[in-house]
Amino acid sequence: MGTVVLSIDAELAWGFHDRPDPPRERIAAARPGWSRLLSILEEFSIPATWAIVGHLFLEECDGTHAEHPGSPDWFARDPGGSAGEHDDWFGPDLVRAVRDADVDHEIACHGFSHVEFGNRETSRETAVAEVEASIEAAASMGVELRSFVFPRNRVGHRDVLAAYGFRSYRGVRPDQWFDAVPMRRTGKLLDAAVVRSAPPLVSPTVDEYGLVNLPASLDLFGFEGIARSLLEPTVGDPVVRQAKAGIDRALESEGVCHLWLHPNNLLAERDSDRLRTVLSHLAARRERSSLAVETMRTVSERVDLPDAYRAVQ
């Protein structure tokens, strides 16, 4: 019997602050989406891994973060001030809501200010600053960070994570057939409409730094826009079908079905409906089987590390 993991990239305005024209609609949806997501998880007793941008733990800041190598340019949009004044940039209330929920969620790291670790321009020094500031901010709330989700899934500086006591990260989804074809977007649409392949199950593996890599299987909101609007009325919500297929595959094997999303994906009622449909399916399957629903942390703690890494963990 396999496992289902749900991870969440939680970032409010930080997810877009380096973009020339940040999408207002998604930023506005982030706070209500966060609360709605938390209550849907509560409704179905589903524990998730909330990878939260470190800046959101803060009650206040000076807006410049002079000790960070990217300062001051990287923080040009950071308004500074306090959580009460700028709630797109601070979220201690939201972090506490996750920490104090009845369901046993994991709080994980998504960088301090959403720096892309895998970007060639990101120095090791910057990665260290991101990790140190996140650990410190989380510790002020009594939270210990053990899992990491790379901003925009740009994997990099894994040695830094290992050095700072992280145990696991979400790696990139294994390639599917449509990744290899020249017209990838068309291939993805064709897959959702006709081929209907299930998302890949993944297995946690130990990398060369002794970290557990738990790759993604399916982005619950990676199929949006025109493609979704075209397919939904005819073949139903393709993502619901894919997610259900992934969950059902996990029932029959030892693999992990690793689903993920952003709170700011819950823009409209139909988005919450999609999530509720998937999680209700998951809860029903778990009820009638020994299918496990776990956090990245719990899964990674079960993975045996080679002897060379055991001493340092």
Residue 214 to residues 4, 170, 299: CA-CA distances in angstroms? 11, 5, 9
Q: Applying CB under 5 A, which of residues 3, 9, 122, 162 lies at the interface with Zn ion?
A: 9
Name the residue nearer to Zn ion (CB basis): 51 or 247: 51
Query: For the chain, where are the E strands, in sequence order?
Result: 3-10, 49-52, 60-61, 81-82, 106-109, 147-148, 168-169, 205-206, 212-213, 218-219, 256-261, 292-294
With vertex at residue 251, the alpha carbon angle to CA 174 and CA 247, rounded to the nearest 5 degrees, is: 55
- Whichever of 74 and 209 has its CB closer to Zn ion, that residue is 74
* Nearer to Zn ion among residue 15 and residue 238 (C-beta): 15
Q: Can you tell me the distance from the alpha carbon of 36 to that of 247, in angstroms, rounded to the nearest whole number? A: 22
- How many Å apart are CA 155 and CA 120, to the nearest integer? 11
| Nearest distance, CB of residue 63 and Zn ion, angstroms | 5
Residue with nearest beta carbon to Zn ion: 61
Alpha carbon separation from 130 to 88, 98, 213, 215 (Å, rounded): 19, 22, 20, 22
What residues between 131 and 170 interact with Zn ion by CB under 5 A?
151
CB of 15 to Zn ion, least distance (A): 5
Q: Does 12 bind Zn ion (CB under 5 A)?
A: no
* Residues near Zn ion (CB under 5 A), total: 6
Nearest to Zn ion of 250, 266 (CB atom): 266
Pick the closer one to Zn ion by CB: 9 or 191: 9
Stretch that binds Zn ion, among 7-15, 180-188, 200-208, 299-307 (CB under 5 A): 7-15
Q: Exactly one of 2, 7, 8, 15 binds Zn ion (CB under 5 A); which one?
A: 15
Task: Report, in Å, the least distance between residue 284 CB and Zn ion.
Answer: 30
Pairing status of strand 81-82 against strand 60-61:
antiparallel
Cα Rg of the chain, angstroms: 19
Residues 49-88 that bind Zn ion (CB under 5 A): 61, 78
Comparing CB distances to Zn ion, the nearer of 152 and 276 is 152
The minimum distance between CB 287 and Zn ion, in angstroms, equals 32
d(C-alpha 60, C-alpha 306), whole Å: 42
User: Which residues bind to Zn ion, rule: CB under 5 A?
Assistant: 9, 11, 15, 61, 78, 151
